[in-house]
Amino acid sequence: MIAVTAEQLPGDPAPKAGISVTGLGIGSSLVNVWRIADGKRKPVRGARRITMNDASFVTDWDVPTNRSVVYEVEVLSGPGGPARATAESLVVEAASSWLMDPFVPQTAMPILGQRKQNGDVYLRGPALSALEYSADTSIFNIMGDNEPIGLFGQRMAEKGLDLSMGTRSAEENKRLKNLLLSTSSFLFRPGPELAGVELEGSMFILNPTAVQVPIDTLWGGEITWWDFKADTVKAPTLKVLTATFTYGDVKIMFTTYGQKQAAMAGRTYLDDLKNPLG
């Protein structure tokens, strides 16, 4: 019988959850791991349609903090057939907000709602002072009628999210700068100080421009501000296609190009990349 347990994992570089799956049965099982938080059910990044054998362990680096999270395992196929199992509710605690490259957890940095000491990276006054929720709309005039037709689309998630930051530490500013220059895609997880803003616990954001403002560093100080605005987007995924066959393998199997064409009749280019031997 399938069993699922979830726990907060200790250690750096950032808060994370571990999901243990057991009882799948000997043999390959095709599995989805879902996370339910903030009233939404989303797949754990990197754990959709994955193969497990009897038991497995998944680390969720995107887990929302300081709120209830429930993990669900959905077995699509396997020795025991389709099935579902749910873990008990989990709360991953964190004392601050976190910003990181979603593909490199080691870049994670704690972000405080207000500065407590010089080594902190903190949100400045303008941060989160306004939240924009836009929708695509179009208006078409009708000949002979003074009321036009209005068409509208889905209202989008937060846009122009202001996460302007500051630091009074040259060392922490260097870390923050390295993070901001390394990518335009970020994972932001708001901490307990931002609970009143009612943001989702796990936000993937795109930032086209980050502006560094050295307040007093030119005359020996360490105060640096960063103007940082971003739009909320879906979680990024990384897909890599690797060759498992060499040209030599294909040459051994086929003497002429005509033989290769005959073997690939009715198949797509991607089919050929996955299995060029037919």
Mean pLDDT of 177-196: 95
Q: Of 245, 253, 237, 252, nearest to 271 (Cα)?
A: 245
User: What was the pLDDT predicted at 247?
Assistant: 73
Question: Which candidate, 174, 166, 187, places its Cα nearest to that of 122?
Answer: 166
For residue 51, the SS3 value is strand
Q: What is the pLDDT of residues 25-44, one digit of tens each?
A: 999 999 999 999 999 999 99
Q: Between 272 and 206, where is the model more confident?
A: 206
* pLDDT of amino acid 262: 83
pLDDT tens digits, 72-101: 999 999 999 999 999 999 999 999 999 999
Tell me whether domains 3-91 and 97-233 share a fold.
no
pLDDT tens digits, 190-213: 999 998 899 999 999 999 999 999
| 16: region left, alpha or beta (phi > 0 left; psi from -120 to 50 alpha) | beta
Architecture of domain 97-233: Beta Barrel (2.40)
Q: What is the mean pLDDT of residues 43-51?
A: 94
The pLDDT, as a whole number, for residue 96 is 96
The domain segmentation of the chain, as residue ranges, is: 3-91, 97-233, 241-278
Q: What is the mean pLDDT of residues 105-121?
A: 92
What is the DSSP-derived secondary structure letter of residue 195? G
Q: According to the model, what pLDDT value does residue 243 have?
A: 63
Instruction: Choose among 195, 176, 171, 194: nearest CA to 186.
Output: 176
Q: What is the mean pLDDT of residues 147-175?
A: 94
- pLDDT range class, residue 278, cuts 50, 70, 90: low
**What rounded mean pLDDT belongs to the chain?**
92
The predicted model scores a pTM of 0.82
For residue 23, the SS3 value is coil
Task: Count CB atoms within 10 A of the CB of residue 269.
Answer: 8
Q: Is residue 272 over pLDDT 90?
A: no
Write the DSSP symbol of residue 64.
-
Token pair 């057991």 is found at: 22
Cβ(115)–Cβ(122) below 8 Å = yes
Helix H, strand E, coil C: the string for 77-123 is: ECCCCCEEEECCCEEECCCCEEEEECCEEEEEEEEECCCCCCCCEEE
So what's the pLDDT on residue 81?
94
Question: Is residue 69 within 8 Å of 86, Cβ to Cβ?
Answer: no
In this structure, are residues 89 and 63 in contact, taking their beta carbons and an 8 Å threshold?
no
Exposure string for 169-187, b = 16+ CB within 10 A, e = fewer: beebbeebeebbeebeebb
Average pLDDT of 211-228?
A: 89
Angstrom CA distances, 269 to 89, 214, 242, 272, 277, stand at: 45, 52, 14, 5, 13
CATH class of 3-91: mainly beta
Q: Residue 93: which of 11, 198, 19, 8 has the closest Cα?
A: 8
- Only one residue has tokens 């009708």, namely 142
Contact 54, 78 (CB under 8 A): no
